[in-house]
Structure 1
Amino acid sequence: MKVIFDDQGVQDLLDDYQRIAGVRIAIFDLDYNEVYNSPKEHSTFCQRMRVNGIIDGGCKECDKKAFGRVKKSKSIYIYQCHMGLIEAVAPIIDEATIVGYIMVGQMLNKSNIEQQWNYVHTKSRFMGVNIKSLKPQFLKLKQLSDDEITAITKIMQACASYIWLKYLIKVERAPLSEKIRLFIEQNISKDITTNKLCSYLGVGKTSIYQCVKKNFGLSLMQYIRYERIQKAKKLLENTDLMIKEIADMVGYEDYNYFSKDFKKISSMSPREYRKGYNKTLPKSL
């Protein structure tokens, strides 16, 4: 699946939101990389905090967990980051599929500001970092009531829907046959079942069976075995791994079963295949 955003349209939307709400907003791709934002830079407090590798690592891990939660729930998530700041994430959805994420953050709630500062200061000291000089930057962070936080996150979620409704995003989807092939390729060493494939792709067994038969001329299990053997061939050609190791790497626990399938599909044993392939290599290699 390839996701293409209307760069100017999305950036204008984020700039308008930031101008009204006064908080930082950003869009992330499916790999959790920030691709659009307003303003471009993090708050001064966060910038200077994240110069420290320990704190920066904690921020990234915190964001990753939030994205993972939204990925499962497909709904908005409001939380406190590991340094006590308020953040919110919502999915950008196209035809029931998440194609990106939208986030607002670097906010404080309306509770006692000194208590919030003491929490952050104390936690940073436990992490071996002295941030005492950053208090002025901390105090400049926007404070919002719970109702205000809820309001701006709802509007953020509306922005996510607007991106789809106004065609600011285009999704180029791979055909089902390619999705099946990629799933098998990426899980070649694991136990691949029809139920797992159905759950991952969100389609029924009949659709998968018919697709594989139509595109590959095989049953699903035959096609999985075929792909395993093709991967094994590449490993036999390009590595010095033991054949039993290769069998494990392509999802066969039983070496004899692997050899039987290999010979059935390739008309020779794995050992014969490797020996024959090596004979055809140029002498310079």
Structure 2
Amino acid sequence: MVSVFNFEQLQSLLQDFHRISNIRITVFDHNLTELVSYPEQRAPLCQIVRGTEEGMLACAACDRNACAAASKQSGTYIYRCHAGLTEAVIPLYVGNALVGYLLFGHVFAYKSFEEGWDAIQQCCKNYPIDKEKLRKSIYGSPCVSDEYILSAAKILHATASYLVLERMATLKEDSSASKLNRYLNENYTHPLTAQDICAALDIGRTQLYKLSAQLYGCGITQQIKKLRMERAKQLLTDSPNMSIADIACACGYCDYNYFIAVFSQFVGQSPNAFRKKGR
């Protein structure tokens, strides 16, 4: 594990979230290992579905896909799980390093019991589950509106920010992951190659690529590009008198035209268009 979690503080925070939302919330590490949940017991429907091999595999795949989607958009991802319940997940970042995920789930987000039952039995039709047992597992579930889900997702986002701010999740200070993250943050505006980074941290290329995948969910070159593009967007917005050429140099690009091409591909518009849009 490249991160350290304060379980006592986390447990208290999750209880507070559940107290105001009545929704189960879970913390995963970056490998999708469940660390702590509140309440510990899953919803009856989830217990039944996960009691089958097919359902357990589908749950694991659903979690992986949702966390990957949340990481890709670097924000809260709301979705309906394979069994028909609504969930939301947000990645946890310490600096630029991905250390885990915060997820709420098992929400019966339907306008009526009948609508929910129709959807859930369709979702679970291929699992070896008794239909009446399945129906009883959701009977009496409170119907939750889309507006409620969106509000809960905003609170989830605030909870994730608070969790990191209060250092309930941190990188191991003496770990290679922490050293890599610090090195990139301090040097991404300079010309950097994998060889440079390996030499600076005294690690091999295989370890570097593995650390990058664990920390950032992408290759090392892509992470450097992300850091540079975020810096470029900040300078384009906050420094209106700074030329595009100077911004390119400040972000580690000596070739002005190459910077424009990379920025346009990454952001979806040219630096000039981005700057004008932000005015």
What is the Cα deviation at residue 9 of structure 1?
0.8
Distance in structure 2 (CA, Å) of the matches to 1:111 and 1:183: 53
Task: Determine whether 1:136 maps to 2:158.
Answer: no
| Unaligned ranges ≥5, structure 1 | 189-195, 205-285
Worse-superposed segment, 31-40 or 125-134: 125-134
What RMSD, in angstroms, separates the aligned Cα atoms of the two structures? 2.4
Contact (CA 8 Å) 1:124, 1:131: kept in 2 or not? no
SS for the counterpart of 2:75 is coil
Distance in structure 1 (CA, Å) of the matches to 2:103 and 2:28: 8
Structure 1 equivalent of residue 164 of structure 2: 164
What is the Cα deviation at residue 125 of structure 1?
2.8
Distance in structure 1 (CA, Å) of the matches to 2:128 and 2:8: 42
Structure 1 equivalent of residue 222 of structure 2: 199
| Unaligned ranges ≥5, structure 2 | 181-196, 211-218, 229-279
Q: TM-score if structure 1 supplies the norm length?
A: 0.63
Structure 2 equivalent of residue 146 of structure 1: 146
What is the Cα deviation at residue 201 of structure 1?
5.4
Structure 2 equivalent of residue 96 of structure 1: 96
Contact (CA 8 Å) 1:14, 1:38: kept in 2 or not? yes
What is the Cα deviation at residue 138 of structure 1?
0.7
**2:70 corresponds to which letter in structure 1?**
V
SS for the counterpart of 2:40 is coil
Task: Determine whether 1:181 maps to 2:203.
Answer: yes
Structure 1 equivalent of residue 25 of structure 2: 25
What is the Cα deviation at residue 169 of structure 1?
2.0
Identity of aligned residues (%): 26
Distance in structure 2 (CA, Å) of the matches to 1:148 and 1:60: 26
Distance in structure 1 (CA, Å) of the matches to 2:129 and 2:100: 33
Contact (CA 8 Å) 1:28, 1:102: kept in 2 or not? yes
Task: Please list the CA deviations of residues 96-117 of structure 1 after superposition, one character each: whole Å capped at 9, or x if unmatched.
Answer: 3221100001001232321221
**2:170 corresponds to which letter in structure 1?**
K
SS for the counterpart of 1:198 is helix
Contact (CA 8 Å) 1:183, 1:197: kept in 2 or not? no
Contact (CA 8 Å) 1:121, 1:132: kept in 2 or not? no
Structure 2 equivalent of residue 105 of structure 1: 105
SS for the counterpart of 1:109 is coil
Distance in structure 2 (CA, Å) of the matches to 1:40 and 1:25: 9
What is the Cα deviation at residue 200 of structure 1?
4.3
Structure 2 equivalent of residue 85 of structure 1: 85
Distance in structure 2 (CA, Å) of the matches to 1:159 and 1:143: 24
**1:116/1:182 CA distance change after superposition, 3 Å:** farther
What is the Cα deviation at residue 143 of structure 1?
2.3
Residue correspondences, number: 197
Contact (CA 8 Å) 1:180, 1:197: kept in 2 or not? no
**1:74/1:183 CA distance change after superposition, 3 Å:** farther
**2:37 corresponds to which letter in structure 1?**
N
- 1:252-263 equivalences under 5 Å are none
**1:128/1:2 CA distance change after superposition, 3 Å:** closer
SS for the counterpart of 2:98 is strand
Contact (CA 8 Å) 1:74, 1:98: kept in 2 or not? no
**1:113 corresponds to which letter in structure 2?**
F
